[in-house]
């Protein structure tokens, strides 16, 4: 558990992502103090409607991430189709066209690892439902850097392979239901880093 107040949240999901995220994002207030960066495994088609989909349901601002954009609080950034999303040391976003990871581009590991480098302890990483092991190594990197690692409980997850791989790779990770993760995020937003939650 981190002693430093988190400055950013990164989330990765694959199969079942929309349902899981619908239990998290719409509840966040417009003035949520942290940025949230999300990789969902999506097809490489040019147009992805997920950001608009969530924007219509959320109070918090929701956008597709742009290359060289500065990360702003109170904003949810989705990685665009067919590009990896990376975080720079100066907390700006970068895109990359490197090879897919686990057949995925965007890949969760890429986001998580670069975010861990950039934010260190001040980061919360969350792995949700999914059908492959993308994100496991990344979550471990976040935990190793002193950040907070959370995995969706496989029992409530649409697809279990991803959370299971993450739990396997990252022993420090807290396993939570979507509801608990939601509460955790809201408390984060109010300034409580969730010390009261069961491990």
Partner 1 sequence: MSEPEASAPLVSERVEDIEIHLLLEGLYRRYHYDFRNYAQASIKRRLRQAREQLGYRSISALQHDVLHDPDMLPRLLSYLTVQVSEVFRDPSYFKAIREKVIPHLRTYPSLRIWIAGCSTGEELYSFVILFREEGLEQRTLFYATDINQDALAKAEAGIYDLERFQLFTENHRKSGGKSSLSDYYTAAYGKGAFDKSLRNRVVFSDHSLVTDAVFAEMHLISCRNVLIYFDRPLQDRAVGLFNDSLTRKGFLGLGSKESLRFSEHAASFSELAPGDKIYQKTDR
Among 50, 118, 139, 159, binds partner 1 (CB under 8 A): 118
Among 18, 61, 69, 187, binds partner 1 (CB under 8 A): 69
Among 30, 49, 56, 89, binds partner 1 (CB under 8 A): 89
Q: What Rg do the C-alpha atoms of the chain give, in angstroms?
A: 15
Q: What's the closest the beta carbon of residue 82 comes to partner 1, in angstroms?
A: 7
Number of C-beta neighbours around residue 195 at 10 A: 8
Q: How far is CA 64 from CA 126, 127, 159, in A?
A: 19, 19, 25
Asked if 148 and 188 touch (Cβ cutoff 8 Å), the reply is: no
Nearer to partner 1, 24 or 116 (CB): 116
The tokens describing 102, both together, are: 């686990």
| Chain center to CA of 78 | 9
Nearer to partner 1, 78 or 158 (CB): 78
Residue ranges in contact with partner 1 by CB under 8 A:
2-3, 46-47, 64, 66-69, 80, 82-83, 86-89, 94-99, 110, 113-114, 117-118, 120-121, 144-146
């Amino acid at each position: 558990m981190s002693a430093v107040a988190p400055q950013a949240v990164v989330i990765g999901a694959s199969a079942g992502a929309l349902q899981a995220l619908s239990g998290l994002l719409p509840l966040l207030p417009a003035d949520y103090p942290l940025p949230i960066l999300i990789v969902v495994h999506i097809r490489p088609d040019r147009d992805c409607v997920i950001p608009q989909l969530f924007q219509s349901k959320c109070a918090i601002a929701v956008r597709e991430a742009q290359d060289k954009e500065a990360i702003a609080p109170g904003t949810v950034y989705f990685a665009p189709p067919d590009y990896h999303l990376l975080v720079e040391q100066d907390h700006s976003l970068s895109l990359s066209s490197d090879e897919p990871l686990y057949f995925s581009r965007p890949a969760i590991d890429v986001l998580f690892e670069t975010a861990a480098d950039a934010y260190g302890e001040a980061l919360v990483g969350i792995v949700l439902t999914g059908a492959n092991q993308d994100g496991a190594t990344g979550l471990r990197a976040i935990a190793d850097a002193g950040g907070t690692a959370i995995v969706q409980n496989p029992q409530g997850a649409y697809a279990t392979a991803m959370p299971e791989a993450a739990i396997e790779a990252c022993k420090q990770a807290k396993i939570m239901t979507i509801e608990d993760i939601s509460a955790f995020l809201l408390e984060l937003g109010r300034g409580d880093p969730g010390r009261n939650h069961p491990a």
